[in-house]
Chains A and B, each alone.
Chain A
Amino acid sequence: MRLIRGAMLAFAWTAAAWAAAEPELRFDALTQSVVATGLDPALLKALARDGVALRPAFGVFLGSAELPMLGDYEISQSAVRFTPRFPFLAGRAHRVQLDVAGLYRIAGLAAPAAEARPVTISFAVPDAPAKSPKTSVVSIFPSAEVLPANTLRFYVHFSGPMTRQAIAKHVRLERADGQPVKGAFLEMENGLWDPQSKRLTVFLHPGRIKRGLALHEREGQPLQPGNRYRLIVDAAAEDEDGQPLTAPFIKEFSATKEERTPPNWKQWKLDAPAAGSKDALALTADRPLDHALFDRVLQVTTADGRVVGGTVRVDEGETRWRFVPYSAWPAGSYLVKIAAELEDPAGNRPTRLFDEEIQESSHRDESREVAIPFQIR
């Protein structure tokens, strides 16, 4: 874009004023552009024609680059302004070279002898102003303060997306006396994240938990019954903008004896709402279950297998699952289907013990599914 604003009525005066001026360059932080002033108005007028390329004589370079960057040159009555095609890189040095003699050549004018030397400046675009931290740990599951010593995993929920890099440096397990529990976690330099980068899954080392494995025999499991622990997410963990957390998060808990029995789904209590209402269906388990799985792997269907849509919430210390349908409950027979992969925090699955629900077609324990019938009346 080349603009000449207004007619050059005061040309003679401007030319006289210019005679005393020196070509000058400056970085205009407000508009993120570079401005050349002190140029001969006759030169500017000649340069303002369509199709004149100024880049060879007025170049803006990133660092030590040899080629000038792309951008727009806007010519006014008193200045040339360069605006880069892409924003200048924050925190990086840029240099500008203005070859005034070259501009005269481009304009097809004879250069005054005094204009032989190029003018250069360097500027650094300031780093983006430090943003204040905005992301925090919202919760850690299991939420209970007493956990079985063979607990397998923790879920750390953040309020916003995190960077996926190097999270391992920022999550640690300590005993109550502040001594770190070494090798507590399965190696996880960049962690295991949900697609939104808001939930981190931290595995306690399964090799140390599983009985009979050498690692278990040699190093023992990370959590010992009777001890108190602190799971710490330190504030230096970075969110997706590279900002630290608003505060560290500490989950204190004590370990109790290992849970080595499967959840007993036959003891689970189902509260069915009334027909015609949009009230929640509530399923209360005999113990806390894995938060993510409890949230995800249950399904409500009609007796003939059609899926009922709705929203799910897990509460009461991961012992209760609440399902609110999108539309009011019609009276009838329904099932809550519990996928085989549902586990308690120690990885015990309800279907491992109860043979009653084995599907005839299945040969693998893992594929068993439990279905609990209920009526809406």
Chain B
Amino acid sequence: MRLWLTVLLTAAAAFAEPAASSSNFAAGPLKAKSFSKLTFSPDGILFVGDSIGGRIFALDLGDKTPFTPAKAFELKDVEGKVAALLGADPRDVLIHDMAVNPISKNTYLTVSRGRRSFTIAWQLPNDVANASVLLRVTPAGAIEEVKLENVKHSSVDLSNPINDTKKAEWKNVKARVDAVSDMAFYDGKLFVAGLSNEEFSSAMRVYPFPFDGTGTVTTLEIYHGAHAKYETDSPIRSFLPYAINGKKYILASYLCTPLVLFPIDDLKDKKHIKGQTIAELGSGNYPVDMVAFTAGEKPGIMVINTTRGPMRIDAADLAKPLPSITAAAEPYSGIKAEKLRDQGLLAAENYGEKFLMVLQRSKLSGELTLSTMALSR
């Protein structure tokens, strides 16, 4: 009898083992210096890019209870509520990034008290402060802190991150804040865009997951029609891994706003590649987020911009022969980008099949709202 019990317990323990992707995780305090960028894997691992510390962390938060959103969600005055948690003025609350757990649909936000530190219009949140608090917003509307004193995680050092001494003079910040400028998980690998110390500093790093210490670094060059020149220093601001006619690409957007394709097969270690510029979405603009979704049965992607408003690119247009911009080009050259209503969108994430979860700031009231955007009428 006792023997049987032991066997049963052992079997139960085996079933309780974590998923393969988190098998090499250890519990302990998360030693990140900046929560620069967030992204999720399909099985609910949260990746935190730490530009200042030069590392990527993979977190297993045990947040794996499936939830399928059926109705709209709205959390008003997000900055007011976060301010209460931080004991700060709402005017100081700065949201750095957002990610939605694809399983539980909990929304994760990285925040700091740095919003009053902006000094010029060209700065991005990571330029003015380091996010140090991770918050979770549940589909029920509760906001809670994700405690990181004892969290199951693994990490990988960012290979050759841009030096701490280099400056982006034109906006008066350390270039190091862009060591990680965006991340996405695709095909079992983590793709990390950002700046390196290579001669051509814009780079895409690819790490197999679970992390095993290996990874590749490929430096990137683009032709920027609005500036009429080739560029290698400007980091990708937002990107999506995206399959077009069966071939896998990185679809990347940059400041002032070229949209560029890089075949994933070309991302070889220590190689330098040139992308194909397929659109210029307009200068004087940061593309701050990109999201792929299907609305009204039409798949496409949305680029969220700081000054040019959100734009939608139809997947059908991406499947046609694509333009390649290699000479000076006016705004809105290249592939068609449909301008969407500009409701002050700042970030968007997939939230089940029927919704996007979006952060938007009302242009009239200034209020920041986290809410769903329905994908069908």
Chain A contact residues, CB within 8 Å of chain B? 60-62, 65-70, 84-89, 94, 195
Chain A residues in 8 Å Cβ range of B145: 70, 85
Contacts A67-B143, A70-B133, A85-B133 given; indicate if A62 touches B172 (C-beta within 8 A).
Answer: no
B236-260, CB < 8 A from A: none
A91–chain B nearest beta-carbon distance, Å: 12
Contact with A along B104-117 (1 / 0, CB 8 A): 00000000010000
Determine which of A66, A89, A195 lies in contact with B87 in the assembled complex, contact meaning CB atoms within 8 Å.
Answer: A89
Q: What 10 pairs across the A-B complex have the smallest Cβ distances? A: A65-B84, A67-B84, A69-B87, A62-B87, A70-B85, A70-B145, A84-B87, A86-B86, A86-B87, A67-B81
Q: Once bound together, how far apart are the Cα atoms of A70 and B85, in whole Å? A: 5
B212 at interface by CB-CB < 8 Å: no
Interface CB pairs A-B, < 8 A, 24: A62-B87, A62-B88, A65-B80, A65-B84, A67-B81, A67-B85, A67-B143, A68-B84, A68-B85, A69-B85, A70-B85, A70-B86, A70-B87, A70-B133, A84-B87, A85-B86, A85-B145, A86-B113, A87-B87, A89-B87, A89-B88, A89-B89, A94-B87, A195-B172
Residues from chain B with Cβ under 8 Å of A65 in the complex:
80, 83-84
Pairwise interchain contact B86-A69, C-beta atoms closer than 8 A: yes
Which chain B positions have C-beta within 8 A of A66? 81, 84
Kindly provide the distance from the CB of A35 to the nearest chain B CB, expressed in whole angstroms. Answer: 17
Residue in chain A with minimal CB distance to B135: A70
Further contacts, 18 of them, CB under 8 A, given A62-B84, A85-B133, A86-B86? A62-B87, A65-B83, A66-B84, A67-B81, A67-B84, A67-B143, A68-B84, A68-B85, A69-B86, A70-B86, A84-B87, A85-B86, A85-B87, A85-B145, A86-B87, A87-B87, A88-B87, A195-B172
**Distance in Å from the Cβ of A246 to the closest Cβ of chain B?**
26
Rounded to whole angstroms, the CA-CA distance of A62 and B88 in the bound complex is 7
Which residues on the B side are within 8 Å of A68 (C-beta)? 84-85
How far, in whole Å, are A67 and B80 apart by their CA atoms in the complex?
10
A159 to B100, CA, bound (A): 49
Main secondary structure of the interface of B (DSSP, over half): mixed
Contact size range, B: 10 to 19
Name the residue in A61, A65, A88 with the highest tally of chain B Cβ atoms < 10 Å from its Cβ: A65
Question: Which A residues touch B143, using CB under 8 A?
Answer: 67
Bitwise interface map of B from 19 to 63 toward A, beta carbon under 8 Å scored 1, else 0: 000000000000000000000000000000000000000000000
Interface residues of B (CB under 8 A from A): 80-81, 83-89, 113, 133, 143, 145, 172
Give the residues in chain A near B88, CB-CB below 8 Å.
62, 86, 89
Bound-state Cα–Cα, A287 to B86, Å: 59
What separation, in Å, do the CA atoms of A61 and B88 have in the docked complex?
10
Cα A69 to Cα B81 in complex, Å, equals 10
Q: Please determine whether B84 and A69 come into contact, CB atoms closer than 8 angstroms.
A: yes
A285 to B83, CA, bound (A): 59
- A60 CA to B85 CA, complexed, in Å: 9
Please indicate the chain A residues that have their CB under 8 angstroms from the CB of B172 in the complex: 195
Q: In the bound complex, what is the Cα–Cα distance between A62 and B90 (angstroms)? A: 11
Contacts of B80 in A (CB 8 A): 65
Tell me the minimal C-beta distance from B232 to chain A in angstroms.
26
Min C-beta distance of A312 to chain B, whole Å = 21
Expressed in whole angstroms, the Cα–Cα distance for A60 and B84 within the complex equals 9
How far is the CB of B366 from the nearest CB of chain A, in Å? 18
Bound-state CA distance A68–B172 (Å) is 36
What residues of chain A lie closer than 8 Å to B83, measured between beta carbons? 62, 65
Nearest residue (CB) in B for A72 is B149
Q: Which residue of A lies closest to B85 (CB)?
A: A70
Bound form: Cα–Cα A69–B87 in Å: 5
Measured CB to CB, the nearest residue on chain A to B145 is A70
Kindly state the separation between the CA atoms of A84 and B145 in the bound complex, as whole angstroms. Answer: 13
